[in-house]
């Protein structure tokens, strides 16, 4: 088989596995086997770059961030649809259809979930994805092709079962499932970035990102529901063989497009109404948000007859669900001090039941948020479940506001230790700058012992408070010095619970390096970042010795995290804690890679082209940013450092290299240009 043939086979296989995994949710091979196929394709493509095509599965994420999105005009406007809010309005819609078509005509409805996401259009030319756009104002939207290509369930090429003579356009809704939304917000919270209010905002924010590489990390999904065929001239082509909307949904699914499986066809409006009610009840069982149902006349031919008004088609209507809202009283605004000292205002609410749970508390995020909404203690407020999960205070009911209420004022001192609050730089958050603040210590201990961190069994909030309150520990390093006698002095702590707690503490010593790194509570370092760093540096000492340049070379580590890590390890108090943990016998190094075929790692020596080489990058490169070059070097096993020394193996020098180049020359360090570095990494040139 020629490389070109093998490439085609691999692409077809990978496409089919992507479809099984991302669309059908039914993979048939292991992640490892899949990765092997991709790796083989990547190798072949880098050996034969002339064979790379834009629809190759390796080409989902690419290109440089764009400054702006080109505007594209929709050949057929993307209309919106009218809304109905009760059964009577759905019956009115049905009556209008009957009046327009005449009493003799038969018709049926296709009823779908109304996905609460962002509408997009995808154009396929000769079977390959050519353009992806937002709805915009309906007439013209933004060309966000590069961002949409990163959504793995969107086919870059459609299955070729049916020869497609001309181009097609499909439309649908991009959305973020609940788990993806929560993971995204959790990692934003860790990095102290503003949170998205709901999955729809997160989706729309993600699609507007300038850098497709960042979009690729957002677990966006899509459901497609509209299909338009074009004739050779690009005009709307009739497809009498596919006259039913319902059939078209099946056609889309057959071609590999993700479609929602809950659509149904009904002949009678009563059935339509019942189906809508049914989903209003069951909406919380879905793993994504819907804000209603969409009712469409099923026959495509009738769409033409019924036509459209300026804004919306006459053949479709939305049945909107009542918002999941509740009213209650804001009894207090309390300040919560986090482990990094950030002070977050929290609404204390009169308990109220909303969409499956009782709510008595909701974050108010920050001072500005409260001022913007002018929320006051004593107000009657509307609360909503953002993404159906996280409760938020939407607004105050001004009609109910009591006389003499006063606007919220942010206290100037920490509610716990009374240290003056400070604002750092541009941040909206106020912080307690006292690292020894009991609230911060408590939050750090809670973080350290938590399920995702060191996972110390028995170290719950009450025990933590007792242990801290009695001064048994001053920081997390002291946890491992706790004795049976000390614990015995605590109220309600019997011998048995003391032993259990000590057992939990002992067991936690065995947690892997990435958990330990995460547990330390380094600002901005979440679980993912901790994993990347642990894998890369392999010991806590190497992390502590890393420079910002070395850190940003690690995948997914940006300058903010890098700076935070460096400053964490410059702090004497933190170093003392690490020494205590070391003395206690915690794992300070990465375990040897696990055996077994799945790991893909060799237990022996690192055979990558730049294994153990220390590399410095200087000057302006023409084909890469420095970060990208650092990434390449890292992936070949090299370490990137910031300054040239006797230990430096290579200096990669771009245009206008200055003092580092001179120093490297004087020390006899080997100097490489971009091409030479590429050759070294690809193995074409030996070290």
The residues annotated as belonging to the active site are: 114
Considering beta carbons, is residue 81 or 202 the nearer one to ligand IVH? 81
Residues numbered 149-178 forming contacts with ligand IVH, rule: CB under 6 A: 173
Least distance between ligand IVH and beta carbon 432 (Å):
44
Report if residue 679 touches ligand IVH, rule: CB under 6 A.
no
Half-sphere exposure of 197 (CA within 13 A, CB side): 9
* Residue 558 binds ligand IVH, judged by CB under 6 A: no
Classify residue 316 by burial, with Cβ atoms within 10 Å: 0-12, 13-18, 19+: buried
User: In the complex, what is the shortest distance from the CB of residue 228 to ligand IVH, in angstroms, rounded to a whole number?
Assistant: 11
- Tell me the closest approach of the beta carbon of residue 112 to ligand IVH, in angstroms: 4
What is the three-state SS of 618-643? ECECCCCCHHHHHHHHHHCCCEEECC
The DSSP code sequence of 92-122 is HHHHHHHHHH-TT----EEEEEEE-SEEEEE
Cβ proximity to ligand IVH: between 315 and 650 the closer is 315
CA distance linking residue 31 with residue 686, whole number of Å: 32
For residue 9, the surrounding DSSP H or E stretch is helix 3-18
In whole angstroms, how large is the CA radius of gyration of the chain?
A: 30
Query: Cβ-closest residue to ligand IVH?
Result: 119
Which of 18, 55, 94, 112 lies at the binding interface for ligand IVH (CB under 6 A)?
112
Subset of 591-650 contacting ligand IVH (CB under 6 A): none
Handedness of CA 628, 633, 634, 635 (dihedral sign): positive
- Cα–Cα distance, 278 to 113 (Å, whole number): 11
Nearest distance from C-beta of residue 273 to ligand IVH, angstroms: 17
Cβ(179)–Cβ(511) below 8 Å? no
DSSP state letters, 28-78: -S-HHHHHHHHHHHHHHHHH-GGG--TTSGGGSS-SPPPSSPPEEE-SS--
Residues 117-146 that bind ligand IVH (CB under 6 A): 119, 135
Kindly indicate which of the ranges 112-120, 281-289, 389-397, 589-597 contains the residues binding ligand IVH, using the contact rule CB under 6 A.
112-120
Candidates 17, 114, 218, 221; binder of ligand IVH (CB under 6 A) is 114
Q: CB under 6 A: which stretch of 89-97, 108-116, 389-397, 616-624 binds ligand IVH?
A: 108-116
Q: Which stretch binds ligand IVH (CB under 6 A): 45-53, 110-118, 337-345, 393-401?
A: 110-118
Nearest to 574 by CA among 491, 477, 462, 651: 477
Q: Is 498 in the site for ligand IVH (CB under 6 A)?
A: no
**Least distance (Å) between residue 199 CB and ligand IVH:** 13
| Contact (CB, 8 A) for 414 and 336 | no
Per CB under 6 A, the list member of 252, 294, 467, 657 interacting with ligand IVH is: 294
**What residues have CB less than 8 Å from 659, skipping those under 6 apart?**
none
According to CB under 6 A, which one of 177, 313, 450, 512 is a site residue for ligand IVH?
A: 313
Stretch touching ligand IVH by CB under 6 A, among 74-82, 234-242, 352-360, 421-429? 74-82
253 binds ligand IVH, rule: CB under 6 A: no
Tokens 């570095």 sit at which residue?
677
DSSP character for 647? T
Number of residues this chain uses to bind ligand IVH (CB under 6 A):
14
288 interacts with ligand IVH by CB under 6 A: no
- Contact positions toward ligand IVH, by CB under 6 A? 79-81, 112, 114-115, 119, 135, 173, 225, 294, 313, 316, 318
């Amino acid at each position: 088989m020629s490389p070109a043939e093998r490439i085609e086979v691999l692409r077809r296989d990978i496409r089919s596995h992507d479809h099984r995994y991302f669309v059908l949710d039914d993979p048939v091979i292991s992640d490892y086997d899949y990765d092997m196929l991709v790796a083989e394709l990547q190798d072949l493509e880098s050996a034969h770059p002339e064979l790379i095509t834009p629809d190759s599965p390796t080409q989902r994420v690419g290109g440089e961030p764009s400054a702006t999105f080109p505007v594209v005009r929709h050949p057929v406007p993307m209309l919106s649809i009218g809304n109905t809010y009760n059964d009577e309005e759905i019956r009115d819609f049905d009556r209008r259809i009957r009046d327009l078509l005449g009493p003799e005509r038969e018709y049926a409805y296709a009823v779908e979930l109304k996905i609460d996401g962002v509408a997009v259009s995808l154009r396929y030319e000769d079977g390959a994805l050519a353009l992806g756009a937002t709805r915009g104002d309906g007439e013209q939207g933004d060309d966000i092709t590069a961002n949409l290509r990163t959504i793995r369930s969107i086919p870059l090429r459609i299955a070729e079962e049916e020869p497609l003579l001309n181009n097609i356009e499909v439309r649908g809704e991009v959305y973020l499932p609940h788990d993806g939304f929560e993971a995204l917000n959790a990692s934003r919270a860790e990095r102290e970035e503003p949170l998205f209010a709901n999955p729809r905002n997160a989706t729309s924010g993600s699609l507007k990102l300038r850098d497709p590489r960042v979009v690729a990390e957002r677990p966006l999904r899509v459901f497609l529901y509209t299909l338009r065929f074009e004739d050779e001239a690009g005009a709307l082509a009739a497809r009498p063989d596919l006259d039913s909307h319902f059939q078209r949904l099946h056609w889309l699914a057959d071609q590999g497009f993700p479609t929602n499986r809950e659509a149904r066809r009904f002949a009678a409006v009563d059935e339509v109404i019942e189906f809508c009610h049914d989903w209003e009840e069951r909406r919380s069982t879905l793993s994504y948000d819907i804000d209603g149902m969409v009712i469409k006349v099923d026959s495509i031919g009738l769409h033409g007859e019924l036509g459209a008004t300026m804004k919306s088609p006459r053949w479709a209507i939305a049945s909107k669900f009542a918002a999941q809202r509740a009213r209650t009283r804001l009894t207090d605004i309390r300040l919560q001090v986090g482990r990094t000292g950030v002070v977050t205002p929290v609404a204390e609410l009169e308990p109220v039941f909303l969409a499956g749970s009782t709510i008595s508390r909701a974050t108010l995020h920050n001072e500005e948020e409260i001022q913007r909404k002018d929320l006051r203690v004593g107000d009657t407020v509307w609360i909503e479940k953002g993404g159906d999960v996280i409760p938020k205070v939407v607004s105050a009911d001004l009609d109910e506001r009591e006389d003499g209420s006063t606007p919220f004022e942010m206290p100037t001192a920490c509610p716990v230790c009374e240290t003056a609050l400070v604002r750092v730089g541009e941040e909206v958050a106020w912080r307690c700058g006292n690292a020894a603040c009991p609230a911060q210590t408590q939050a750090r201990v809670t973080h350290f012992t938590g399920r995702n961190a060191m996972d110390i069994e028995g170290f719950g909030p009450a025990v933590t408070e007792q242990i801290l309150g009695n001064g048994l520990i001053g920081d997390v390093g002291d946890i491992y010095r706790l004795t049976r006698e000390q614990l015995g002095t605590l109220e309600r702590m019997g011998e048995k619970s003391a032993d259990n707690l000590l057992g939990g503490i002992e067991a936690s010593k065995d947690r892997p390096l990435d958990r330990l790194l995460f547990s330390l509570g380094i600002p901005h370092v979440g679980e993912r970042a901790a994993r990347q760093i642990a894998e890369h540096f392999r010991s806590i000492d190497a992390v502590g010795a890393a420079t910002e340049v070395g850190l940003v070379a690690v995948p997914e580590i940006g300058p903010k995290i890098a700076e935070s890590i460096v400053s964490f390890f410059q702090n004497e108090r933190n170093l003392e804690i690490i020494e205590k943990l070391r003395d206690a016998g915690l794992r300070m190094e990465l375990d040897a890679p696990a055996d077994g075929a799945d790991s893909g790692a060799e237990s022996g020596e690192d055979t990558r082209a730049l294994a153990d080489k220390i590399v410095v990058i200087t000057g302006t490169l023409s084909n890469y940013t420095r970060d990208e070059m650092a990434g390449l070097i890292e992936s070949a096993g090299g370490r990137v450092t910031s300054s040239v020394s006797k230990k430096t193996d290579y200096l990669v020098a771009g245009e206008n290299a200055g003092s580092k180049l001179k120093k490297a020359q004087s020390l006899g360090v080997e100097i490489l240009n971009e091409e030479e570095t590429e050759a070294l990494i690809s193995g074409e040139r030996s070290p």
